[in-house]
Amino acid sequence: MTASSTKSSELARIAAEAAGTRTFSVQFTLTHGTATGYDGTQPMAYVTSGDDDKDDPNSWPTDFCHFSAAGLSMSTSTWPSAMSAFSGRVRIGRVEGNGRRGSFSFGGHSVPNPGFLNHSTRKVEVLITMGTAHWSPTYRETLMQALLIEKLTNLAGERGVPVLHLHTPVAPVAQTGRSDPGDGSNERLRDAIGPCMRFSIGIDPARSETRLDFETELAALSEEYGFGLRLDDQRLNRVRGEWFTIRGFDRERYRQTRTQLFPDAPMSTPKRALIVSVVGPSRTGTTAAAVATLRARGIGVLAASISSMRKTTFINLVVPVADHAPSTLPPWSGGWLEALPRITDAAGFVAAPTGFAADLAAGFAADLEAESAARSADESPIADWMAAVSPAMRCSFPPSSRQTGAATTGRVPYPIWLWWQLPHRTVDTPALLAEVQAALRPHTRRCEVAYAQSRLCRGDVVRGRAKIIVMLSQEHRDHAAVQRLLADAAETAQERIRERLPAICRVDPSRIRLRLSPRERWLPYAEISG
């Protein structure tokens, strides 16, 4: 009786939530292209339909996400829509003429899944370390990363908990000593990006056994594959950006496992890559299904950004392109099952799984292709999803040092974190990020938005976080000098943004909250502008 009552209550909650949205679908835009620095007025594309009017409250996107890696970038905007007359759960198509050279835009609608999350869901964040050297992955490493993404997200899917966010590459975290103060003032400066992955899952606090089981299995995977494992530190007075180390990175075990699983994969760095975006109503197990299908075809993952906005999931993958693959295929959009052969043709065959990897990639052989396609229509959680595929584009890898701290050279990219809260329908996220870049320009020779996400929250306010990669105009090798330069640049830029935003968005300065800091853990304690 208890189980039945609980199920009925949950169904009633989902029905009430769906009835209260007053919308039938989610409208979205996707933009694929090359990452930009100072060569444009906006750090990323922001595309809406030609009929949109900013004076119409319903035309303002409520959620936004952007990421860039390997010289490529992807942007997504979503907002509620009243449209309901379209076949299937998702539709997607090309948007012609977005005004940016070398970028390709897609627009569409999706039916959200109202029962994806409940109000009691709490986030558990995980940081995975897959190396300590400069981030410039080889084909073999992209296959290993695809395998780990599949295994890690499958752990969540098997327990019925959703993956809220996954992003790679991210800034690595240096191991702290026992004598270091808790505020991180003595920790080494972080590289802007490294061979690391950051993801979070949502767990009901009442299911403590599920969280314990997930973390136990996660630790077992870390021991098996050798990757480093950290969990977000949820002890009293801890903030986001502080981690609790479970296992350190085991270099030898990781290399041995990678060589055993993918012995035939090339050890060269990809020169080209394409962006694959898979879109559909949020469900558990979708990321694992998408990555496993690509890996079974010998396609790895160079970078990834997976997030759910308005209960619609966007799986954005940067996949490496083999040297012999054709480079003339145009951008394309359509059903996920129809996209698979096109992605395989565009990316090219890299390496066939062998040994233990062959068992993990069952269905790879050509004689099983037809049977696998027939099964996927019924079994795959993303069989009814849609995909957008960019053409093959040249990728690049930024300079870095093995251990940042300005001990080797001053020409090193550093991360600066941004947090903001603004009233809705005042200034959109791309325009805000453009202002942040302009404010940092006098202090830097390079400034790029690596990741940004904003959401419409209660109180009709938009909250967002971003990581910005900067290279300082002045070169210093001393740790303390560089830290001062970064702190001064962030403080000066924050003050300039505080002065400009009220005039741009015509809003009371007291309603603006914005924090800019060279250390993520300092964001909650940084001075609030406005």
Q: What is the DSSP string of 312-355?
A: EEEEEEEEEE-TTS-S-PPPEEEEHHHHHHHHHHHH-------T
The two counts, helices (H) then strands (E), for the chain are 10, 20
DSSP assignment, residue 33? E
Enter the tokens of residue 165.
Answer: 């966010």
Provide φ and ψ at 108, rounded to 5°. -175, -175
Question: Tell me: the pLDDT tens digits for 405-460?
Answer: 444 555 678 899 999 999 988 888 999 999 999 999 999 888 999 999 999 988 88
Rounded distance between C-alpha atoms, residue 215 and residue 229, angstroms: 10
Cβ–Cβ under 8 Å, residues 398 and 446: no
- Backbone phi, psi, residue 521, to 5°: -70, -15
Q: Residue 41 — pLDDT band, cuts 50, 70, 90?
A: very low
Percent of the chain at pLDDT exceeding 90: 44
Residue for token pair 């906005």: 309
pLDDT in tens, 268-288: 999 999 999 999 998 889 999
Would you state the pLDDT for residue 69?
93
Q: What pTM value is reported for the model?
A: 0.85
Residue 206 has pLDDT above 90, yes or no: no
Q: How many angstroms separate the CA atoms of 214 and 101, rounded?
A: 45
**HSE on the CB side for 259, CA within 13 Å?**
6
Q: What domains lie within the chain, and their CATH numbers? A: 122-174+190-261 (3.30.70.600), 413-525 (3.30.70.260)
Answer for the pair 516, 493: CB distance below 8 angstroms, yes or no.
yes
Residue 165 has pLDDT above 60, yes or no: yes
**pLDDT higher than threshold 70 for residue 181:** no
pLDDT tens per residue across span 94-125: 876 666 777 889 999 998 887 776 555 688 89
Nearest C-alpha neighbor of 298 from the set 172, 75, 146: 146
Q: How many Å is the maximal CA-CA distance in the chain?
A: 69
Mean pLDDT for the stretch of residues 355-378: 42
